[in-house]
Structure 1
Amino acid sequence: MNYYEQRQGLKVRSLMLIIMVVWAFLFHNILHAFSIMSYVMAAAGICCLGIVTKTDSTFSINNMTCAWIPAIIAMFSSYFLHSTKKVSAEMDILILFIAMVFCIFSFYDKLEYMLCMKVIVFISAIHSFGVIIQQFLPSLYQVLVKFLPDTMQSIVLQSKYNGFTTNPGFAAAFICAGLIALITILVNDRKITFWNRCLLILMIAALLFTNKRAHPVFLGIALLLCWLLPVHNDSRINKYWKIFLTIVGIIVFFFAFKDFLVRIPFVSSVVQTIDGLMLGTDVTSSRSDLSSWAWSLFKDNPVFGIGWGDYRSTIIGTITHATELDTHNIYLQLLCETGIVGFVCFVVPFVLFWTKAKNAYCRCAVAEDELSKTWKPPLCFSFVFQTLFLIYGLTGNPLYDPNWMILYMFACGITLSFVTIERQSSEEDQKKEIL
């Protein structure tokens, strides 16, 4: 293959990767404009093109590429053997399968991942802008909403904190992804411009105005882990002191400007939660009932569960009157729907990829070689996003939300690509030493 053919292949592969990332952000928008199956088929075609345009020399079988195979088998087995076969479950499985396959064949260059991270920042900035103008420029917001699909407009206008999405949780997830990508890029960039700082402030403000508690808190925890893990001993102790002083400063700042800060939806929600905990009231928005019901179903079907996607229908008449909901805890829902067998099949790759991402990022954060320096930004994104996904899974439904799942598999693909390239580089160095 000559240089021109290599460059053409690179452009096509980059385009496929970008389309997969954009797909995560536009899932619900497109879903309101087209039929489910046409959308899924288009996504499957994109996935296949991405695999075909992959260079054969980079693909190799290892424990990471095989890690998702048991999860795929468990998912399909649970659906076909136990599930009542709901349309929503079919869509979940197809999209999850496509994302997993794309991850398995994700062997891209660092520059391609960096380009996708910039795309994530761009789209997240648009959603951040939507949340802010919804709060402060409602007349302009009303005009811009008209550009969304007709079937989507009425749903979007029902909430005060969702921006250009149908749910504040979607907006918060998009902004979190953009913040991770932006912070990762800025930390590793020698020159941080005035506009970059403005964009960072805009996105942080927008996240606080989505009225979601879990997203900002868990994002903060994920970023703290990213900051703390690469250092050891005295340096880590110094960072602990900085965290402690920062927390004290935030508390003092809050009490000094409490009357103003409680106008921010996130702050108001946190204050209400703390007050509720002190009074002994339920602050989980009835999610404790969902979790208790999932646990009882798991105890009745501990080995193989009740079937993928069936939890939603079981709560009608027991927890809700007519609304289908997920557990808001992916681990409990996996136990409930797929049993211990399916739970293990999913948790093993979760832990494996997170551990690989952590180890790879920590190595690159302190190493001085060229490979480590260039891969540090995408690996930082991979580690932080995987951490956020796994923590948020305790109170949310990221495994059952295509927006989250596609971006999670994108993050896993970064780790897989680096581990493969690092191993190939090591093998080449060994061959050179022998020669």
Structure 2
Amino acid sequence: MLENQIEGTKGSDKSLILSFIWIIFSVLYVLFINTINIFPSIYYIFSSILLFVFILGIIVSTKINISLSFGKFFWIMYSIVIIMGSFFSINQELSIKYLLSYLPLVVLMIFSENIPIQIFNFIVPSMVICTGVHVFMNLFFLIQPEKQINILMKLYTGKELMNAVNQTRASFLVGITSDIGQNAFHISLFMICMFALLLTKTNKIVSIISFLFGLVLLIGTTKRGLMAGLFASMIVIILIRSRKNIKRFFVYSVLLIFFILVGWYILNNLEITQVMIKKNIDYSGNILNGRQYIYASTLNAFNQHPFRGIGVNTTQIVSSGNDAHNIYLQVLAESGVVGFILFVTAITCGLVQGIKELLKAEKSKYETIIIFSVSYQVFFVVYGMSGNPFYNNSLLATYILCLMIVHIFKKKKDEDCSYD
């Protein structure tokens, strides 16, 4: 019996080490490898690498846990629908490329309960460090703008370099990425981490100052959809945490108003934010920036194939090379009515379960990571109304990671009846 215990301990140690490697690799991928794309060959196979390391960790562990929640069930059903739909896709190559990234992530989520809970203590600090590098480089380029293009030329070539340089010369903030949207994602993720730390840690000054720096930079990217998602996530968390405490609600409301006023001041007094104002009146004053034409093309594709859809990741074929800039319309067109219902139900289940876990985790040592998970889920859902987070590897991988956080902490709560 003693030998079995020793072997079990060694297996747990190996599993812990491999899980730690997996978490670090996933964070690095989301925030660096996919962003800078120095290694484009792993763009579509990174999740397979993640899955390999993860399964290896399960093999050396002493036991395997699988629980099928409603959320997991609907993700599995949605996955089956888009796999079947890929056989009838209008472009099977595009559909298969997406499935190579998407399906391993779903498998990871299904087996998420096998990750040691200690590992999740590293997620927010890792995110802060990695996104902090992006934030620092953005601030550095504001001070030393002449050095940005030289650095970008060392990171990119071809179309990506041209895109990064053109956006930089047009006064958009791209940081060390090649696209303002990707840069805005990193800044938003940094701000979500700072907001979670602000609510749960005693040293709030650093979090407030860091958040304000992020706000300035996010405005500079001109990405209004990400701003909407960020502030929506903050409002949801504030409402949840202050539901029984009027004083806390007042304090959080004052804090939120303060951030809004600071943002308004920045918007009206910094030259760089005038780029955003100009963007809002482009396309003959249409705030949709021409997306109504993309929406019309996407809906037309849905009307042609309302039940089976046109195949995952193929909207760009019917909308002149563009994604739908609305994940709900795109899922509707690509996977049909059934796939759309399963998708919406799946993301709703994840968010509802996340909120339940947050209510249970208040004032516990795990509150920060669960606030991060719920905040990002709200951000993902809201930004999805005007962007493509479900079709971007970085944003999708982060979303799946947040679902995994919910599952692993639900398991701990069910087993221990407590987060302590």
Question: Counterpart of 1:348 in 2: which secondary structure?
Answer: helix
Q: Percent identity?
A: 18
Shift of 1:412: 0.5
- CA distance in 2 between counterparts of 1:258 and 1:74 reads 44
Unmatched 5+ stretches in structure 2:
none
SS at match of 1:396: coil
Report 1:345-384 matches (<5 A). Answer: 345-365=342-362, 373-384=364-375
Q: How do 1:40-59 residues align onto structure 2 when only pairs under 5 Å count?
A: 40-41=44-45, 43-54=47-58, 55=61, 57=63, 59=65
Q: Which amino acid aligns with 2:200?
A: N
Is residue 314 of structure 1 aligned with residue 323 of structure 2? no
Distance 1:177 1:331 in 2: 22
Q: Cα gap change, 1:134/1:247 in structure 2, threshold over 3 Å: closer, same or farther?
A: closer
* CA shift in 2, pair 1:10/1:148, >3 Å: same
Aligned to 1:25: 31
Q: 1:82 to 1:122 in 2, by over 3 A?
A: same
Gaps of 5+ in 1: 317-323, 428-435
Distance, in Å, in 1 between the alignment partners of 2:319 and 2:143 is 38
User: Equivalent residue of 1:68, what SS?
Assistant: helix
Structure-2 change in CA distance of 1:380 and 1:4 (3 Å): same
Q: Does 1:394 align with 2:394?
A: no
Q: Is 1:224 aligned with 2:235?
A: yes
Equivalent-residue separation in structure 1 for 2:90 and 2:388 (angstroms): 19
- Which residue identity lines up with residue 111 of structure 2 in the other structure? F
User: Cα 1:374–1:58, aligned 2, differ >3 Å: closer, same or farther?
Assistant: farther
387-396 vs 88-97, greater mean Cα deviation: 88-97
**2:405 alignment partner, one of 406, 414, 417:** 414
In the alignment, which of 322, 325, 341 is matched to residue 325 of structure 1?
322
Partners of 2:260 and 2:298 in 1: how far apart?
40
Contact 1:230 1:363 in 2 (8 A): no
Residue 115 of structure 2 is aligned to residue 124 of structure 1: no
Residue in structure 1 matched with residue 66 of structure 2 by the alignment: 60
Counterpart among 189, 198, 208 of residue 177 in structure 1: 189
**Alignment partners' CA distance in 1, 2:223 and 2:123:** 26
Contact preservation (8 Å) 1:156, 1:167: yes
What pairs with 1:58-207 in structure 2 (closer than 5 Å)?
59-63=65-69, 64-86=71-93, 88-107=94-113, 108-151=115-158, 152-160=160-168, 161-192=173-204, 194=206, 198-207=209-218
Partner of 2:301: 297
- Would the alpha carbon gap of residues 243 and 394 (structure 1) be closer, same or farther in structure 2, given more than 3 Å must change? farther
1:257-280 CA distance string (max 9 Å, x none): 87624x232x6525763x689xx8
Quote the Cα distance in structure 1 between the aligned partners of 2:199 and 2:298.
42
- Matched to 2:293, the amino acid is D
Deviating runs (4+, > 6 A) in structure 1?
none
| Displacement of 1:68 | 1.7
Alpha-carbon contact 1:218-1:391 (below 8 Å) kept: yes
1:166–1:297 CA distance, 2 compared to 1 (3 A): same
What does 1:244-323 align with in structure 2 at a 5 Å threshold?
Answer: 246=257, 250=261, 254=264, 260-261=269-270, 263-265=271-273, 269-270=276-277, 273=280, 281-316=285-320
Whether the 8 Å contact between 1:83 and 1:308 is mirrored in structure 2 is no
Q: How big is each residue's C-alpha offset from its partner over 1:17-65, in whole Å with a ceiling of 9 and x where there is no partner?
A: 2212221223445645443xx5544541331221331345461222244
Please give the residue correspondences for 1:324-343 in structure 2 after superposition, counting only pairs within 5 Å. Answer: 324-343=321-340
- Report the TM-score, using the length of structure 2 for normalisation: 0.86
Q: How many residues align?
A: 403
More deviation in 204-213 or 376-385? 204-213
For 1:106 and 1:143, the matched residues in 2 are separated by 42
* CA distance 1:130–1:306, change in 2 (3 Å): same
Cα shift readout 1:123-149 (whole Å, capped 9, x = no counterpart): 211212232333331123234334414
How far residue 214 of structure 1 moved from its aligned partner, in angstroms, is 1.7
CA contact (8 A) 2:19 2:57 kept: yes
Q: By how many angstroms is 1:395 displaced? A: 0.4
**How many angstroms apart in 1 are the aligned matches of 2:395 and 2:87?**
24
If the length of structure 1 is used for normalisation, what is the TM-score?
0.83
User: Deviation per CA, 1:292-335, whole angstroms, max 9, x where unpaired?
Assistant: 2211221222111122222211123xxxxxxx100100001111
CA separation of 1:389/1:249 partners in 2, compared to 1, >3 Å: closer, same or farther? closer
Report the CA distance shift for 1:374/1:163 in structure 2 as closer, same or farther (over 3 A). same
Once structures 1 and 2 are overlaid, which stretch shifts more, 156-165 or 168-177?
156-165
State the AA in 2 paired with 1:100. Answer: V
* Aligned residues of 2:219 and 2:267 also touching (Cα < 8 A): no
Tell me the CA shift for residue 102 of structure 1.
1.4
Q: C-alpha distance in 2, partners of 1:68/1:50? A: 19
CA drift of 1:421 comes to 1.5
Equivalent residue of 2:324, what SS?
coil
Displacement of 1:115 in angstroms is 0.8
Deviations 1:69-101 (A, max 9, x none): 112111111111233213x43222211112211
Q: Equivalents in 1 of 2:200, 2:376: separation in Å? A: 17
TM-fit CA distance, 1:424: 1.8
